[in-house]
Amino acid sequence: MNNKPLIIANWKCNPTTSKEAEHLFVAIKKEIRNIKDAEVVICPPFVYLDLIKDDFTKGGQNCYCENRGAYTGEISPLMLKNLACQYVIIGHSERRKYFQETDEIINRKVKTALKTRLRPVLCVGERVGDEMGLVVREQIEKDLAGIAAARVREVIVAYEPVWAIGTGLPCSSDEAMRAALFIRKTLTKLYDRPIAEKVKILYGGSVTSQNAVDYIKGAMMNGLLVGQASLNATEFVKIVLKINEL
């Protein structure tokens, strides 16, 4: 496993013009093109993927569970691979909530992505009032069902407590560490400890330049999935540079 911290920028449904998207990307690239001790992945809306050339690794924000067919409006893992994507975000809480994606659908997406040699970034996390352990265990067990140990090490698990996403109420580093340890424990039961240790675990949810280091050093996370802050070039660059200096 590459030991460099992995920092993924999820632009979500932003910005609204290609000019703005290109300006954002250029502003980020200018400041962090020479980093060596962190890996940065940009996940823009599908229509902007071609704007991101070879300067950075890129990924999709979602994919369908089939590579081709009569599925109007869908984007397949094979299409993402053709656009030089290496990663794809799957199972984000916004997909689960607004588009009613079930764990069964997410499981199919993970399998198809792996077959296409994309690395799935599997998002898990509880809502307000839910017990983290019960929700995260069920999501991981169902989302990784039928995936062999030889392939699961290619999956990245992103812990994103739903109550922290876009709310400005980030999870504490202690809470994040408990979640990371619980995820590794769950993966150990499903596979074994050596396999579990090879799976990268990221934190996402109101990440800022003020708390980013805490999640890597304090919570023992392997990286970050950054949403809102990734749309502010100055803030995102600060996050990357701080992690790069660890």
For residue 26, count other CB atoms closer than 10 A to its CB.
12
pLDDT for res 97: 96
**Rg of the chain, C-alpha, whole Å:** 17
CATH code, residues 62-171+180-210: 3.20.20.70
C-alpha dihedral sign at 197, 183, 119, 160:
negative
pLDDT digits 0-9 by tens, 212-232: 999 999 999 999 999 999 999
Of 40, 22, 30, which Cα lies nearest the Cα of 242? Answer: 40
For residue 188, count other CB atoms closer than 10 A to its CB.
14
pLDDT digits 0-9 by tens, 58-91: 999 999 999 999 999 999 999 999 999 999 999 9
pLDDT for res 64: 98
Tell me the two tokens of residue 192: 């074994």
Residue 153 makes CB contacts below 8 A (sequence gap 6+) with: 1, 195, 198, 199
Q: Is cis: bond before 44, omega within 30 of 0? A: no
Q: Which residues in the chain show pLDDT less than 50?
A: none
Catalytic residue among 39, 126, 154, 160, which?
160
- Report the distance separating Cα 8 and Cα 226, nearest Å: 6
Catalytic residue among 39, 92, 94, 126, which?
92
pLDDT for res 204: 96
pLDDT for res 56: 80
The H or E element containing residue 7 is strand 6-10
β-sheet bridge partners, residue 203: 159, 224
Name the pTM for this structure: 0.97
Domains of the chain, by residue range, sit at 12-60, 62-171+180-210
Q: What is the DSSP string of 11-23?
A: --S--SSHHHHHH
pLDDT for res 1: 57
pLDDT for res 34: 86
Q: In the Cβ-directed half-sphere of 151, how many Cα atoms lie within 13 Å?
A: 16
For 118, counting Cβ atoms within 10 Å of its Cβ (0-12 exposed, 13-18 middle, 19+ buried), the class is buried
Specify whether the CB–CB gap between 188 and 166 falls below 8 A.
no
- Residue 160 annotated in active site: yes
Residue 162 makes CB contacts below 8 A (sequence gap 6+) with: 93, 97, 125, 126, 127, 128
pLDDT for res 170: 87
